[in-house]
Structure 1
Amino acid sequence: MADYTVLGIDPSIAATGLVLLKATGEKQPQVLLAEEVKPAEAAGFARIRAIAFSVMSIIHTHQPNAIVVEGYSLNLKNAASVVPLVELGGVLRLMLHLDGLCWYDPRANQLKQFVTGHGGAPKSHLMMHVLKRWGYTSATDNIADAYGLACIGLAQANRLPGITTPMRALAGSLILRSN
């Protein structure tokens, strides 16, 4: 089996989570990279540009076989965070598109459903379920989300043994995006 890698991206203005997983043929994929992008730029497009450039640098360096970006999940209770998050998501997707790359973009409830079995699970539960299911101890919830996203990408490519039928169905239902 040839090396197959997936980059999971959990976009956030505060700290974007990135996890690059490599299929091993076993239940636990190999972690090649797990980090958060927290640029020094204070705000606005300077911060968005720094995050997007960091993400694209990792993509160009590692050239993953698949990319999974968490889809838009807008918390309208905190309306001030919605616009910067949409701007970041748009810039990331535009840069992927300009580079001719494709990606999957499951929504947050799909990520939660895949990892925990419940689409309405609190964000805090993902870290626990990532540890329980794959034995990976995540430093932050952003990294745990990115890990789950990368696992969805491995499952979509049928490279993640030991998952349930509903997990396989969810991953198989994703549509590859390019714009």
Structure 2
Amino acid sequence: MRALGIDPGTATIGYGFVDELPDGSLQAVAYGVITTPSSSPMVERLMMIHEQLTELIARYEPERAAVEELFFARNVTTAITVAQGRGVILLTLAQAGLPVYEYKPNTIKQAVSGYGGAKKPQMQEMTRILLGLEKRPRPDDAADALAVAITDLHSMRYSGGIDLI
């Protein structure tokens, strides 16, 4: 089973493709970021996200996708901008025919580290361990996306493929 995890945004979008192997272990297939220049008009940036994500889906052929839910307490402008990117991401995933699951940040932290309040270094180290990587995944957005994919595969395993979150 191959899952695509996404850490949404507009300037930097993290992605991570993770396979669950027959023995239940997890393996990172590919991960990285999609970046868009802040100097470009928003409509062009959203189109870049759509086009690059479409190419990644075609190349790595995931069977499901998972996206981190938005969580912003203070900055409304940032929340709106990220929500625009997130909308394009969800549309792109739907157009690709992928089942899409969404997870709250504390759910991802709990699934990967065992603690819903885990800090970024803890998350990156647990992601490294769970995927058997030599180094912590970088950049941060890609590491976050891998954690989303791990959460989704764990959720699928324990819910029998039904998203209970």
Give the shorter-chain TM-score range.
0.7 to 0.9
Contact 1:52 1:88 in 2 (8 A): no
- 3-state SS of 1:156 partner: helix
Query: Which residue in the other structure is 1:153 paired with?
Result: 152
Deviation (angstroms), 1:135: 3.3
Alignment partners' CA distance in 1, 2:107 and 2:70: 11
Query: Which residue in the other structure is 1:55 paired with?
Result: 53
Q: Structure 1 pair 81/41, CA: closer, same or farther in 2 (3 Å)?
A: closer
List aligned pairs for 1:75-94, cutoff 5 A. 75-94=72-91
1:68 aligns with 2:57: no
When normalised by structure 2's length, the TM-score is: 0.83
Alignment partners' CA distance in 1, 2:33 and 2:119: 20
Alignment partners' CA distance in 2, 1:89 and 1:28: 29
Query: Which residue in the other structure is 1:139 paired with?
Result: 138
Match of 1:33 among 30, 34, 39: 30
Alignment partners' CA distance in 1, 2:164 and 2:39: 35
Contact 2:27 2:132 in 1 (8 A): no
Deviation (angstroms), 1:139: 1.2
Contact 1:10 1:18 in 2 (8 A): yes
Alignment partners' CA distance in 2, 1:95 and 1:118: 31
When normalised by structure 1's length, the TM-score is: 0.77
1:98 aligns with 2:83: no
Aligned-residue CA RMSD in angstroms?
2.5
* Residue identity matched to 2:67: V
Contact 1:27 1:134 in 2 (8 A): no
Unaligned ranges ≥5, structure 2 = none
Deviation (angstroms), 1:36: 0.8
Count residues in correspondence: 162
Deviation (angstroms), 1:26: 4.4
Alignment partners' CA distance in 1, 2:21 and 2:55: 25
For 1:152-173, what per-residue CA distance to the aligned partner results, in whole angstroms no more than 9, with x for missing partners?
Answer: 2322343xxxxxxxxx46x967
* Residue identity matched to 2:65: I
Unaligned ranges ≥5, structure 1 = 159-167
Query: Which residue in the other structure is 1:174 paired with?
Result: 163
Alignment partners' CA distance in 2, 1:27 and 1:98: 29
Deviation (angstroms), 1:28: 4.3
Alignment partners' CA distance in 1, 2:73 and 2:126: 26
Per mean C-alpha deviation after superposition, the further-off stretch among 75-84 and 25-34 is 25-34
